[in-house]
Structure 1
Amino acid sequence: MVYVLLSVVCSVTVSVILKLARRHHVDTRQIIVWNYPVTVLGSWAVLRPDFSDVVITEAPVGIYLSLAVLLPGIFVLLSASIRHTGIVRTEVAQRLSLFISLLAAFWLFREAPDTGKLIGVAVGFVGILCSIGWHRGSNQYGLNHRVWLYPLSVFFGYGLVDILLKIIAQHTGTPYTVSLFVIFCLAMLVAFGYLIVILQGKGRFSMHAVYWGLVLGAFNLGNFLFYMMAHRALPENPSTVFTGMNVGVIALGALVGLVFFQEKLSRINKIGVLLAVVSVFIIAYS
């Protein structure tokens, strides 16, 4: 469980970095861009992708390109959601995005529907609606101006990413490690293209953003690697890893958001966070 704990800490730290960067007036868009070189180099060192038997014409190039655009774009939405609605709501939305891929498994991938998991999804959706604060006048973040669309976009965006990654995992023509590395490389190219657009507009190049981005990339990569190591360390208990990761991020994110950043939640928001945790347990052990 040490790897699960480390993965949880890295995941929440990513949100904290984006939150603090905003407070220090560092452009979070540029930070996200500079996170990708670390991701690419780290994934190359750890995944060790073998291109020897790869046939480009058989690879799902369309899905690669879709993910290359989606990943940086959703990262920007994640940053915006943290800025406008806080860490607590954003972490709940990101973690419960697993419901999208779970429903896709039933209806798109023809897996047999499981009553327990469907109940968990239903509880989770209620948790999402309660926690993101779509109702008016709930707290300090001005959610009456519809900025709740940010966490909702994070929810659906990461759910779509999960679905596309599952399609790639089922693709037998290309090794999954190769696919992940190619996606990270393409995402980095898209991110640098986005940086060029920023600099040609009103944005100014920030060396501070480079430093922040490299740190962000280290924790983002750590989240991914420790989660993989947790599954390898507990191969017979995937539900334990799944539960520990999702509940851990929601709980630690709530603690950090409420205690260190004084984020204010209404009673219904707190009920939503609790329902999110309950739904993860239902899904994991049903």
Structure 2
Amino acid sequence: MIYLLLSVLASSTIFVVFKLFDRYKVDTFQAIVMNYVTACASGLIAFNQPVTVDQVISSSWFYGALLLGVLFIVVFNVMAITTQRSGLSVVSVASKMSVALPVVFGIAVYHESTGFLKLLGIILALVAVYLASIKSTSGISIDKKNLVYPLMVFLGSGVIDTSLKYLETNYVPAEETPLFSSGIFAVAAVIGLSVMLFQYIKTKKQISVKSILAGIILGVPNYFSIYFLIKALKAPGFESSTVFTVNNVSIVMVSTALGIILFKERLILKNWIGIGLAILSILLVAYASL
């Protein structure tokens, strides 16, 4: 349970840092790329053993980490496009509702429990995520021509979580968790740095020191959000459907609380109902998993 709590806290810290990006006019893409570099370095430091390229390439999880690294950077860019075209609430709902995919995967492939209370808790969790993420009384409105982007966010985020569970179960030894996490971020960093280099050559776009510092600050909690999530998935007694449900709903709750405390955000009735349902869903899923 402690790993799950730490993953939630790390993920919620990412929310706070992202909010500060707007306030301090940080170049988001540059910061994200530096965040991946920092997260990769954090994993290598945490591994605390000599690492060679041959060792990484020959690892059973290498190709999975390669795929996840590509997905990380692609999904981030699709989330940015979705935010610009449909708004932040749409991105929030699409990314968090994607918890349905790893939950279904855990139940279908690993035959995890499907009691009435647990299923009710999962359904309430999805409703809670939607209600807590909507910041207008009119709900979500998406232009039909832009519908593909939140759908891609939903699928991409769900595939990332599902792949983490699959790789953690079948290919990642417990002692290599830091190195596996670092490998994912390394791939994303290489792709991001390549794009930044192309931008510089083509447009002479300068690197912002402020954005680099912001990326370093973001990279540490980003690394630990993945590291602790994998550790939680490996913990005995916790099914992945329980971990992903509690993790996603808790992130929404804590992020909302931080928004109120740190940024004076105001909630509408839907948000308060969503928070109440979130608490209830966590209690139901946790109780059903005892």
TM-score category (smaller protein): 0.7 to 0.9
Q: From 268, 272, 288, give the equivalent of 1:270.
A: 272
Residue identity matched to 2:66 = L
Amino acid across the alignment from 1:159: G
8 Å contact 1:7–1:245 — kept in the other structure?
yes
Q: Is the 8 A contact 1:85 1:148 kept in 2?
A: no
The CA distance in 2 between the partners of 1:269 and 1:41, in whole Å, is: 37
1:130 — aligned with what? 131
Structure-2 separation of matches of 1:112 and 1:237: 11
Contact 2:62 2:183 in 1 (8 A): no
**Residue type matched to 1:212 in 2?**
A
1:170 paired residue number: 169
Q: Partners in 1 of 2:112 and 2:224 — Cα distance?
A: 34
| 1:180 equivalenced with 2:142 (yes/no) | no
Structure 2 match to 1:68: 69
State the partner residue of 2:259.
257
The residue aligned with 2:29 is 29
CA distance in 2 between partners of 1:24 and 1:212 (Å): 10
CA pair 135-14 structure 1, distance change in 2 beyond 3 A:
closer
**Residue 39 of structure 1, CA deviation:** 1.1
Asked whether the 8 Å contact 2:14–2:221 carries over to 1, the reply is: yes
What SS class does the counterpart of residue 39 from structure 1 fall into?
helix
210, 213, 226: which one aligns with 2:212 = 210
1:107-126 equivalences under 5 Å are 107=108, 109-115=109-115, 116-126=117-127
Q: Return closer, same or farther for 1:268/1:156 CA change in 2, 3 Å cut-off.
A: farther
Q: Which moved more, 1:173-182 or 1:143-152?
A: 143-152
| In structure 1, distance between residues paired with 2:2 and 2:212 | 30
Contact 1:65 1:186 in 2 (8 A): yes
Q: How many residues align?
A: 276
C-alpha distance in 1 between matches for 2:91 and 2:237: 28
Q: Structure 1, residues 84-109: CA drift from partner, whole Å, max 9, x if none?
A: 436x983x7655543321111123x1
Q: Residues 46 and 212 (structure 1 numbering): CA distance in 2 closer, same or farther, change over 3 Å?
A: same
Q: Which moved more, 1:154-163 or 1:44-53?
A: 44-53
CA separation of 1:24/1:41 partners in 2, compared to 1, >3 Å: closer, same or farther?
Answer: same
Question: After the TM superposition, which residues 12-51 of structure 1 pair with which residues of structure 2 at under 5 Å, given as runs?
Answer: 12-48=12-48
Indicate the SS of the match to 2:25: coil
CA gap 1:61/1:37 in 2 versus in 1, 3 angstroms: closer
Normalised TM-score (structure 1): 0.73
Amino acid at match of 1:167: Y
| Structure 1 residue 27 displacement after superposition | 0.9
The Cα shift of 1:217 comes to 0.9
The sequence identity of aligned pairs, in percent, is: 26
- Return the letter of the residue paired with 2:165: K
CA RMSD of aligned residues (A): 4.2
Unaligned runs of 5+ in 2: none
